[in-house]
């Protein structure tokens, strides 16, 4: 990312709002091509996809909680961008993440958002989320069916340093997806690399793939004997390495397997050119990442994705929004000052607008009688409510899409105070096809979500 | 209720100054807490887990039973103790007990003599990987730039073993990077000359040549002699490629890719010490430790040679090599990786982005010079064995034309200054010199649009004096009624409102006055006499009450507390050198090193030698004893 370029681009964007609004998907390929999914691949039922969008720094209750319940409720300020797509969205209030009601204001709420567990308090040693994240449980169910088991995306590299004041490593604040309690999943933040990764993963049966396998097999056999020579403590790391190599190997093996029903892209990924690296404008960056999610789901490169708008405590400068002059985390400590609140709220609304953008993109893609959105579930939320108080009660939670017709969208449901957020995870996992009775502190499925 | 903040901060700030007095106060409080929360079960002959807490209740007991106290601490920290049906600590008491144990473990660290501490398996981090590929292949394309960024652990560095986890994405990226690197090397004459140590011809068969090439490359990549088994394993792949019709060249280079994705290359692997006692690390392990510490990359030919000859287990040769590496330009690797993370200047352009509307002259080049200045000063001081205190105040700095203008000293410089950052002698009357008054640190401790004495105070306390202020209460009290009052007030005046609130005051009375000392610098570090039309008042005081009236005096006040600064820097650098967070026993080494520094005018080489010659750096702990059942239950699954 170069700076001088950013200024000119910024100027350009200021001048022509249109440049920003033109989505990569449309700029790169006409919509008719995108919708042109091969018929034979569409035989049978379209798969269910799941994405989680995580927002740092919470939202203010005044602009979030709708007054009315049911289908006929007035959209609060933050949700205004959902007006056109509200019938495919669920607003769920009064859910809380009880195991994150401890520790500090941000890291516990972020690292534990999808696990429903309490992270170990540490600047490094014994890093542990004490749970597998909900998205990764879903991924386990279907990872053998697609080239990539899941995609973890974001916009910010993990912040450097440890937070000595609260006593947590910032690694916690940069990861919501946990493959195992001790293995967070690193995010990709460059849309170009995401695209290239999907592109390569979808390549089949080439000589390059055969060569890769040869290399990986060699490495795996050597590494196994090395593992035996390591001390007890170190084997865990070596296992992560082996798992990491095996994942690639397994994919290549699957693609090569003679007689194996080959994975087929549901849409042609090669219709697109790779996006340019990380744009300087945050809005453009986020939109490209949304486009990557659309592409991943549409092509069936993966069925599970998580995305972090920013890391915990993100101080992303939102001066690019009209009416905002400042950074996200600072403004979230609004001290109820009207001026700061107004800016904090505009930032929250902007995040919902990006979510709405994703929903609409997905909804524009036809899959048989339904749309891609109808076959997806998109969780949007934060691990805390008001950025001033950091409470994990009455969390801001939206669920978009119908999960393959299983989700009862178009309403606002207000639950009993302190209903576990993990009840929603139970419902989502079941809708996704992974039978689940209990998840962390859940007390059952969430009433009213499933059809 | 001002209690917790006041107490913790009081403990941190004043206890360090008068530790013996504090220890007594502490023991009284400890007795009370143990009696109320622990002794019901842990007392007498039938104490639970045979742990009679009435015997573990003094600093002396910490000195004599360190392992037990480490376990007790762990149980309390993970909330296993007191158990659910017991009497839980209040959050405040719990933290206090943990801090008391930490402080006692540290203050008694030398009781058992120096101990090596753990040496966990660690992969190369992203920067190490990039530098290693560059030096291994002598190529100048940035291979590894696509790897995910690494987070930090321990004392805040991204080379800490505990946070260097691997995701499936790493496997993909390593494979891609290896292919890209080797393909580039195969086409680059310089790399070919380096890698192809033998070629098939009159004197060598294809087999012989391939064997030597693979043997040599694997040895350099693994940073230790490759075993004949390992080479033979690679040869099998080479032969397979030859048989399938590839050329000799292609077969050899194809096989080299395996080396670059194998764990022996990607990880820094040390043989576990299965003896009962701590043991010196091997010569090649030492070469690796030393090289990644001082250069951030793989050992060079000379260092490998010294290891081959068995010289690095010899104290004199080790010292010689250390100084050689330090004086070499490549020690910039240490500066690059250490300084930006220590001072937080790595976040410039990331988390730290000045408002470009307000600061129109701030651009990429200026950002680069902000990042570069502290790094260059640090490198200069370490190369030339200057005093560590020059980091706080020096009569020279590094600047280019733009930075010198930014500092308002351009016209007073005698050097011929241009776009490039060069060493410049500072004019007599400038306030600049040393990291506290550099624009990089001043910017990362500001908001995008304005300065913050709170952030700057916190930055200085944490990164210079090693005092970590406690977090604000989770539910920060709202100051809504003051909303209208604050309009048109200076930052100092607004913070006064803040400090009039008793629950804020206890900490902010310590933090804010430190930051006031830097209020003469705006949010990108430019000198200013006025802020919002009000004359800047940069009077303040350090914890302990030492007052100052301007930034120059602030530096002098910090220098009078140099022991704190030197201890902090020693801790940070030891943690960086070891690639892990410090454990209580490491504080013995810290103490030895700081004493050595005080006796040698705080010369940088004494710091580096102190670390290199320390027990944690030279030795590895015994891994002979299998973990006891008790150990495994302490660890939460």
Q: Between residues 126 and 165 of chain A, which touch chain B (CB distance below 8 Å)? A: 126-128, 130, 149, 152, 156-162, 164-165
- Segment B434-453, tens digit of pLDDT: 999 999 999 999 988 889 99
Residue B600 distance to chain A (closest CA, Å): 31
Residues of A whose CB is below 8 A from B475:
389-391
Are B349 and A222 a contacting pair at CB < 8 A? no
Are B121 and A230 a contacting pair at CB < 8 A? yes
Structure tokens at B637: 């699954």
For residue B295, name the pLDDT band (cuts at 50, 70, 90): very high
User: What is the Cα–Cα distance from A446 to A237, expressed in whole angstroms?
Assistant: 37
For helices B586-599 and B91-107, give the axis angle rounded to 10 degrees: 60
Residue A203 pLDDT exceeds 80: no
By Cβ distance, the residue of A157, A165, A183 closest to B469 is A165
Give mean pLDDT, residues A149-159.
96
Residue B425 distance to chain A (closest CA, Å): 30
Residue B419 CB neighbour total at 10 angstroms: 10
Strands (E) across B326-440 are located at 396-399, 422-425
Q: Lowest mean pLDDT: which of A105-114, A272-281, B614-623?
A: A272-281
Return the ∠ at Cα A274 (arms to A270 and A276), rounded to 5°. Answer: 170
Which of A156, A160, A323, A340 is best to mutate for the B interface (most B CBs within 10 A)? A160
Residue A9 pLDDT exceeds 90: no
Residue B35 distance to chain A (closest CA, Å): 25
Q: What is the pLDDT of residue B26?
A: 76
Are B344 and A120 a contacting pair at CB < 8 A? no
Q: Lowest mean pLDDT: which of A381-385, A420-424, B60-64, B519-523?
A: B60-64
By Cβ distance, the residue of A10, A182, A215 closest to B261 is A215
Residue B214 pLDDT exceeds 60: yes
Cis peptide before B95 (omega within 30 of 0): no
Residue B533 pLDDT exceeds 90: no
Chain B interface includes A180 (CB < 8 A):
no
Are B166 and A244 a contacting pair at CB < 8 A? yes
Strands (E) across B244-296 are located at 267-268, 279-280
Residue B46 distance to chain A (closest CA, Å): 31
Give mean pLDDT, residues B251-262.
97
Residues of A whose CB is below 8 A from B145:
none
Chain B interface includes A94 (CB < 8 A):
no
User: What is the Cα–Cα distance from B529 to A320, expressed in whole angstroms?
Assistant: 30
Q: What is the pLDDT of residue B78?
A: 66
Are A157 and B149 a contacting pair at CB < 8 A? yes
Are B120 and A120 a contacting pair at CB < 8 A? no
Are B163 and A240 a contacting pair at CB < 8 A? no
What residues does A96 pair with on adjacent strands? A420
- Segment B316-334, tens digit of pLDDT: 999 999 999 999 999 999 9
By Cβ distance, the residue of B176, B478, B580 closest to A335 is B478
Residue B552 pLDDT exceeds 50: yes
Q: What is the pLDDT of residue A17?
A: 33
Chain B interface includes A206 (CB < 8 A):
no
Chain B interface includes A216 (CB < 8 A):
yes
Is-contact B163 B152, C-beta < 8 A? yes
Which of B102, B117, B155, B167 is best to mutate for the A interface (most A CBs within 10 A)? B167
Q: What is the mean pLDDT of chain B?
A: 88
Q: What is the pLDDT of residue B386?
A: 98
Residue A125 distance to chain B (closest CA, Å): 5
Residue A146 buriedness (CB in 10 A; 0-12 / 13-18 / 19+): buried
For residue B24, name the pLDDT band (cuts at 50, 70, 90): low
Residues of B whose CB is below 8 A from A99:
none
Give mean pLDDT, residues A428-451.
96
Q: What is the pLDDT of residue B496?
A: 78
Q: What is the pLDDT of residue A34?
A: 39
Q: Which residues contact B171 (CB under 8 A, 6 or more apart)?
A: A241, A244, A245, A246, A247, A248
pLDDT > 90: percent of chain B: 67
Q: What is the pLDDT of residue A189?
A: 97
Residue A227 distance to chain B (closest CA, Å): 10
Are B169 and A244 a contacting pair at CB < 8 A? yes
Residue B10 pLDDT exceeds 80: no
Give mean pLDDT, residues A374-397.
96
Residue A257 pLDDT exceeds 60: yes
Q: What is the pLDDT of residue B476?
A: 53
By Cβ distance, the residue of A183, A248, A336 closest to B165 is A183
Chain B interface includes A171 (CB < 8 A):
yes
Are A126 and B162 a contacting pair at CB < 8 A? yes
How many angstroms separate the Cα of A358 from the Cα of each of A22, A320, A362, A402, B315? 14, 20, 6, 14, 62
Structure tokens at A5: 């370029």
Q: Which chain A residue has the Cα nearest residue B237?
A: A218
Q: What is the pLDDT of residue B495?
A: 77
More confident residue, B144 or B103: B144
For residue B632, name the pLDDT band (cuts at 50, 70, 90): very low
Structure tokens at B29: 């409080």
Chain B interface includes A274 (CB < 8 A):
no
By Cβ distance, the residue of B148, B264, B355 closest to A188 is B148
Residues of A whose CB is below 8 A from B363:
3-4, 7
For residue A281, name the pLDDT band (cuts at 50, 70, 90): very high
Q: What is the pLDDT of residue B484?
A: 43
Which of A158, A186, A315 is best to mutate for the B interface (most B CBs within 10 A)? A186
Give mean pLDDT, residues B416-445.
96
For helices B502-516 and B491-500, give the axis angle rounded to 10 degrees: 150
Give mean pLDDT, residues B346-357.
90
For residue A43, name the pLDDT band (cuts at 50, 70, 90): low
User: What is the Cα–Cα distance from B355 to B627, expressed in whole angstroms?
Assistant: 54
| Interface size, chain A vs chain B, as Cβ–Cβ contacts under 8 Å | 254
More confident residue, B6 or A59: A59
DSSP string, A16-62: -HHHHHS-HHHHHS-HHHHT---HHHHSSPPPPEEEEEE-TT---GG
Q: Lowest mean pLDDT: which of A338-352, B71-85, B585-599?
A: B71-85
Q: What letter would DSSP give residue A86?
A: G
Give mean pLDDT, residues B158-184.
95
By Cβ distance, the residue of A158, A315, A338 closest to B151 is A158
Q: Which chain A residue has the Cα nearest residue B358?
A: A325
Residue A36 pLDDT exceeds 90: no
- Segment A72-122, tens digit of pLDDT: 999 999 999 999 999 999 999 999 999 999 888 899 999 999 999 999 989
Q: What is the pLDDT of residue B475?
A: 53
pLDDT > 90: percent of chain A: 69
Give mean pLDDT, residues B593-620.
97
Residues of B whose CB is below 8 A from A238:
121, 263, 267
Residue A181 distance to chain B (closest CA, Å): 9
Q: Which chain B residue has the Cα nearest residue A130?
A: B637
Are B636 and A120 a contacting pair at CB < 8 A? yes
Q: What is the pLDDT of residue B559?
A: 97
Residue A229 pLDDT exceeds 60: yes
Upper half-sphere CA count for residue B261 (Cβ side, 13 Å): 35
Q: What is the pLDDT of residue A256?
A: 67
Q: What is the pLDDT of residue A42?
A: 53
Q: Between residues 368 and 387 of chain A, which touch chain B (CB distance below 8 Å)? A: none
Q: Which chain A residue has the Cα nearest residue B176?
A: A212
Give mean pLDDT, residues A162-185.
94
C-alpha closest to that of A421 among A404, A387, A398? A398
Is-contact B218 B181, C-beta < 8 A? no
More confident residue, B328 or B500: B328
Residue B610 pLDDT exceeds 70: yes
**pTM to 2 decimals?**
0.88
More confident residue, B94 or A142: A142
Are A160 and B346 a contacting pair at CB < 8 A? yes
Are A120 and B635 a contacting pair at CB < 8 A? no
Give mean pLDDT, residues B86-111.
83
By Cβ distance, the residue of A104, A127, A159 closest to B162 is A127
- Segment B469-482, tens digit of pLDDT: 777 665 554 443 33
For residue B16, name the pLDDT band (cuts at 50, 70, 90): very low
- Segment B367-391, tens digit of pLDDT: 999 999 999 999 999 999 999 999 9
Are B627 and A333 a contacting pair at CB < 8 A? no
Q: What is the pLDDT of residue B13?
A: 38
Q: Which chain B residue has the Cα nearest residue A175?
A: B151
Q: What is the pLDDT of residue B110?
A: 82
Give the 3-state secondary structure of residue A359.
Answer: helix
Q: Which chain B residue has the Cα nearest residue A158?
A: B151
| ipTM surpasses cut 0.85 | yes
Structure tokens at A423: 């009840």
Give the 3-state secondary structure of residue B549.
Answer: coil
Q: What is the pLDDT of residue B32?
A: 85
Residue B106 pLDDT exceeds 90: no
Residues of A whose CB is below 8 A from B266:
241
Give mean pLDDT, residues B590-594.
94
More confident residue, A151 or B7: A151
């Amino acid at each position: 990312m170069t700076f001088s370029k950013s200024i000119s681009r910024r100027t350009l964007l200021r001048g022509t709002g249109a440049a920003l609004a033109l989505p990569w998907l449309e700029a790169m390929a006409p919509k008719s091509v995108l919708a042109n999914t091969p018929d034979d691949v569409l035989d049978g039922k379209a798969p269910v996809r799941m994405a989680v969008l995580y927002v740092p720094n919470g939202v203010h209750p005044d602009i979030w909680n709708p007054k009315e319940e049911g289908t006929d409720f007035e959209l609060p300020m933050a949700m205004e961008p959902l007006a056109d797509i509200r019938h495919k969205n669920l607003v769920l209030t009064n859910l809380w993440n009880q195991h994150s009601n401890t520790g500090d204001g941000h890291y516990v709420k972020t690292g534990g958002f999808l696990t429903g567990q309490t992270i170990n308090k540490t600047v490094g040693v014994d890093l542990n989320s004490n749970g597998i994240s909900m998205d990764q449980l879903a991924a386990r169910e279907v990872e053998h069916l697609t080239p990539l088991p899941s995609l973890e995306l974001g916009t910010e590299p993990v912040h450097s340093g440890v937070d000595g004041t609260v006593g947590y490593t910032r690694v916690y604040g940069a990861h919501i997806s946990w493959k195992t309690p001790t293995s967070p999943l690193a995010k990709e933040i460059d849309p170009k690399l995401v695209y290239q990764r999907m592109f390569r993963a979808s390549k089949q049966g080439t000589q390059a793939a055969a060569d890769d396998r040869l290399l990986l097999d060699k490495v795996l056999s050597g590494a196994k004997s090395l593992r035996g020579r390591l001390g007890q403590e170190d084997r865990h790391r070596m296992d992560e390495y082996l798992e990491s190599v095996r994942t690639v190997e397994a994919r290549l093996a699957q693609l090569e397997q003679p007689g194996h029903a080959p994975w087929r892209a549901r849409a042609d990924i090669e219709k697109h050119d790779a996006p340019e690296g990380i744009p300087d404008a945050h809005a453009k960056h986020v939109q490209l990442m949304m486009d990557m999610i659309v592409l991943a789901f549409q092509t069936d490169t993966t069925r599970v994705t998580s995305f972090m708008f920013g890391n915990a405590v993100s101080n992303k400068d939102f001066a690019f929004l009209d009416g905002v002059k400042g950074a996200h985390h600072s403004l979230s400590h609004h001290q109820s000052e009207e001026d700061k609140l107004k800016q904090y709220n505009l930032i929250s609304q902007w995040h919902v607008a990006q979510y709405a953008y994703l929903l609409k993109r997905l909804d524009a893609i036809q899959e048989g009688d339904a749309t891609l959105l109808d076959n997806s579930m998109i969780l949007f939320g934060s691990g805390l409510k008001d950025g001033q108080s950091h409470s994990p009660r009455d969390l801001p939670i939206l669920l978009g899409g119908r999960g393959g017709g299983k989700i009862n969208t178009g309403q606002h449901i207000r639950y009993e105070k302190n209903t576990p957020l993990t009840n929603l995870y139970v419902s989502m996992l079941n809708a996704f096809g992974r039978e689940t009775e209990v998840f962390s502190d859940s007390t059952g499925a969430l009433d009213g979500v499933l059809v | 209720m001002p209690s917790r903040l006041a107490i913790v901060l009081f403990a941190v700030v004043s206890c360090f100054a008068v530790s013996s007095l504090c220890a007594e106060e502490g023991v009284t409080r400890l007795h009370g807490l143990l009696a109320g929360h622990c002794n019901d079960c842990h007392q007498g002959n039938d104490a639970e887990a045979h742990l009679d807490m009435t015997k573990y209740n003094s600093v002396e007991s910490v000195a004599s039973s360190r392992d037990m106290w480490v376990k007790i601490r762990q149980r309390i920290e993970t909330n296993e103790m007191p158990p659910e049906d017991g009497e839980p600590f209040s959050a405040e008491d719990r933290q206090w007990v943990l801090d008391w144990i930490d402080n006692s473990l540290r203050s008694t660290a030398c009781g058992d003599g120096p101990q090596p501490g753990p040496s966990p398996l660690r992969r190369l981090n992203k920067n190490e990987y990039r530098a290693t590929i560059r030096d291994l292949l002598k190529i100048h394309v940035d291979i590894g730039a696509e790897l995910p960024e690494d987070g930090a652990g321990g004392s805040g560095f991204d080379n800490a073993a505990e946070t260097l986890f691997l995701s499936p994405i790493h496997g993909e990226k390593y494979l891609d990077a290896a292919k890209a690197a080797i393909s580039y090397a195969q086409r680059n004459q310089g790399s070919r000359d380096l890698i192809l140590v033998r070629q098939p011809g009159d004197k060598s068969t294809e087999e012989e040549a391939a064997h030597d090439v693979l043997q040599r490359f694997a040895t350099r990549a693994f940073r230790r002699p490759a075993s004949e088994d390992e080479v033979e394993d690679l040869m099998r792949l080479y032969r397979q490629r030859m048989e399938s019709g590839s050329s000799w060249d292609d077969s050899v280079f194809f096989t080299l890719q395996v080396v670059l994705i194998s764990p022996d290359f990607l990880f820094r692997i040390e043989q576990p010490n299965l003896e009962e006692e701590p043991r010196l690390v091997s010569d090649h392990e030492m070469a690796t430790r030393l090289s990644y510490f001082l250069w951030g990359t793989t050992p060079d030919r000379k260092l490998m040679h010294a290891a081959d000859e068995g010289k690095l287990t010899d104290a004199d040769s080790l010292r010689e090599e250390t100084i050689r590496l330090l004086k070499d330009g490549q020690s910039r690797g240490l500066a690059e990786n250490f300084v930006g993370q220590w001072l937080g200047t790595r976040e410039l352009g990331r988390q730290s982005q000045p408002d470009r509307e307000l600061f129109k002259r701030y651009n990429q080049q200026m950002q680069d010079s902000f990042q570069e200045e502290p790094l260059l000063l640090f490198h200069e001081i370490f190369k030339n064995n200057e005093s560590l205190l020059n980091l706080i105040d020096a009569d020279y700095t590094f600047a280019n034309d733009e930075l010198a203008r930014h500092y308002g000293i351009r016209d007073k410089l005698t050097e011929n200054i241009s776009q490039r950052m060069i060493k410049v002698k500072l004019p007599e009357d400038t306030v600049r010199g040393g990291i506290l008054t550099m624009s990089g640190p001043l910017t990362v401790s500001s908001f995008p649009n304005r300065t913050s004495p709170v952030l700057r105070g916190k930055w200085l306390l944490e990164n210079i004096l090693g005092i970590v202020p406690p977090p604000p209460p989770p539910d920060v009290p709202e100051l809504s009624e003051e909303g209208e009052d604050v309009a048109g007030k200076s930052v100092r005046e607004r913070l006064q409102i803040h400090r009039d609130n008793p629950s804020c005051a206890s900490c902010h009375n310590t933090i804010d006055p430190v930051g006031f000392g830097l209020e003469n610098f705006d949010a990108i570090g430019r000198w200013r006499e006025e802020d919002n039309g009000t004359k800047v008042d940069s009077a303040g005081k350090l914890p302990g009450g030492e007052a100052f009236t301007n930034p120059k005096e602030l530096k002098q006040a910090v220098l009078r507390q140099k022991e704190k600064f030197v201890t902090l820097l020693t801790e940070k650098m030891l943690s960086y050198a070891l690639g892990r967070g410090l454990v209580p026993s490491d504080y013995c080494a810290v103490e030895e090193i700081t004493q050595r520094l005080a006796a040698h005018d705080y010369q940088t080489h004494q710091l580096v030698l102190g670390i290199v010659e320390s027990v944690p750096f030279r030795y590895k702990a015994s891994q002979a004893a299998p973990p006891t059942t008790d150990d495994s239950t302490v660890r939460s699954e």
